[in-house]
Amino acid sequence: MKNYLKEINQRLGNIFINIRTLEELERKTRSVTDEENNVLEYNQNIRKVNDFIKKGEFEKARRLLEEMKGFHRMGYYELGKYYYFCEGDLSKAESNLYIAFENGIVKAGYYLGRLEEESGNVNLARNWYVTSFNFSEQSVMKLFYFAIREQNFWAIDGYFYYLLQYGESAKNLYEFAKYYFWRNDFEKIKEIQNKLLNESQILYLTKEILYNVECMLGDEKSREYIKFVENAKNLEKLGEIEKAEEFYKKSIEYSEYGYFPLMEFLVKNYDDEYEEFERIYETVDFEDVQAEAAYRLGQHKENYGDMELAAGWYVKAITKGHYKAACRMGKLRKKHQSEKINLKMNFFDYFKYLKNSADLGYGLAMIEIALDSHLNSLESFEMAEKILTRNNIFELTKAVINEAKMIYFGNEIKEVLEINYEEEDMNTIKMLFENEAKRNNKQIDEIEYLTTKNNLQRNLEVIEGERNMEKQQEKRKITSLNLFHKLKKFLENRNLYLNFSSKANKN
């Protein structure tokens, strides 16, 4: 990797930090606090901050982040990200991120690069991205887009193979798949498909990504579908809404799967999509599409406060195999408990739906089960283990992985966790911050504040469930004992246990 960095330095130029300096930063771990022994408490606080942000409680989040600077250098990094994403205070963001970078958190260079790029300093931004690319997948993607504009094919292939080995994001891998699709390089697309299907802890994986990659490797009709869908997305980004809609509808002629991006498009661009979803549900004879239409109809009814009808649509989606609908039912169940909404659904009904969603591989459902207080410690541990080791988990996020690691490793965790701000959540988080600021400045009353907050939070996936550290520590003890009994049984079955036992006694 050092040789690769040197090559990048030589070919791209203008790099203000050399290999030796990077090595020094990697070794720079001195701090006024005992960071190693603070990891558990720091990670617990990271989860609290993430929850505060998604609940719109920004003052609590900021105060806790200020305290966390005393636990670990990563506290400066997280506080800088908070100011950047939540409050939009770029000066405070830059100050904290630079302190983090100077103290060895090299991935802070990605955000320092973003700040420079947004100020129009493209060359300085590129320097930061090159500096941090070995520590930040996001920096790799920034350099990938630079290389595309410059038609630097050597660099593009280099970034591709780096991500193929170290990348975690299905979204980023799909960007490379699209690039190689237009270049007819199907061997590299096969390598991407292999990684997506066979590795664990792949973030943001969806059925759509898997299907689209499969189509890229398919027959002429499948490839035509991809061309129409991707061109439609590009037209939508350019603001050519009518033409984009035309292309989305044209894609359906090549695959009924085109209804999925079409429905997503309708939600983002029209207010009267309800009737169109009903038409799709009633007329399209494809169960996956019907499930998605039912889910969208449930969301529509929930947004307008008709919880009973929303639940009815969600159940229809669940019975057709929609993996997200059960988690929405869970949120309705909480409303049922707090607002006396009659959903005719007890805990066991809800848990059955949630279990079905988890079995289908939905990451949020899996962590909800792992955190559920009705499960014993071993069951919770085993679900966390599945999240960390199983392939093809859908819509997995850093927040879900962080929760799973806290359950799985308990107080033995050594990794310093971080908050990953999802790009699609940014507008909602900014509006939540503005809503809290208006309440604090007495521009709105408490009722308006709560109404706006509740409406905005529907757009965010907040992990519910019990977070009991004593219970998590108990999991470690129970699981260790369980593993011992499994090992004992394994040895007994091979007539080795007595031998093993006598040797142990001698020792």
For a pLDDT cut of 90, what percent of the chain falls above it? 56
**Is residue 317 domain-resident?**
no
Question: Residues 151-172: what's their mean pLDDT?
Answer: 95
pLDDT tens per residue across span 42-62: 999 999 999 999 888 999 999
Domain that holds residue 368: 361-410+468-507
Task: Please state, in angstroms and rounded to a whole number, the distance separating the CA atoms of residues 270 and 101.
Answer: 44
**Is residue 506 domain-resident?**
yes
**Is residue 485 domain-resident?**
yes
| pLDDT of the residue at 471 | 47
| pLDDT of the residue at 78 | 97
Local structure of residue 344 (DSSP, 8 states): -
| pLDDT of the residue at 294 | 96
Question: What are the two backbone dihedrals, phi and then psi, of residue 57, each rounded to the nearest 5 degrees?
Answer: -105, 75
**Is residue 71 domain-resident?**
no
Residue scoring higher pLDDT (371 or 345): 371
What is the crossing angle of helices 259-269 and 220-237, to 10°? 10
Q: Hey, what are 160's tokens?
A: 């591709």
Residue scoring higher pLDDT (75 or 379): 75
Q: How confident is the model at residue 37 (pLDDT cuts 50, 70, 90)?
A: confident
pLDDT tens per residue across span 173-193: 999 999 999 999 999 999 999
| pLDDT of the residue at 274 | 84
pLDDT tens per residue across span 347-371: 667 788 888 889 999 999 999 999 9
Question: Residues 134-151: what's their mean pLDDT?
Answer: 95
Question: Residues 439-451: what's their mean pLDDT?
Answer: 83
Residue scoring higher pLDDT (121 or 306): 121
Q: Is the pLDDT at 498 greater than 80, yes or no?
A: no
**Is residue 385 domain-resident?**
yes
Local structure of residue 17 (DSSP, 8 states): S
**Is residue 318 domain-resident?**
no
| pLDDT of the residue at 346 | 64
**Is residue 398 domain-resident?**
yes
Q: Helices (H), strands (E): how many in the chain?
A: 28, 0
For a pLDDT cut of 70, what percent of the chain falls above it? 80
**Is residue 37 domain-resident?**
no
| pLDDT of the residue at 52 | 92
Residue scoring higher pLDDT (251 or 32): 251
Task: Please state, in angstroms and rounded to a whole number, the distance separating the CA atoms of residues 262 and 116.
Answer: 36
Q: How many domains in the chain?
A: 1
Task: Please state, in angstroms and rounded to a whole number, the distance separating the CA atoms of residues 476 and 37.
Answer: 19
- The set of residues, in sequence order, having a beta carbon less than 8 Å from that of 211 and lying 6+ positions away, is 257
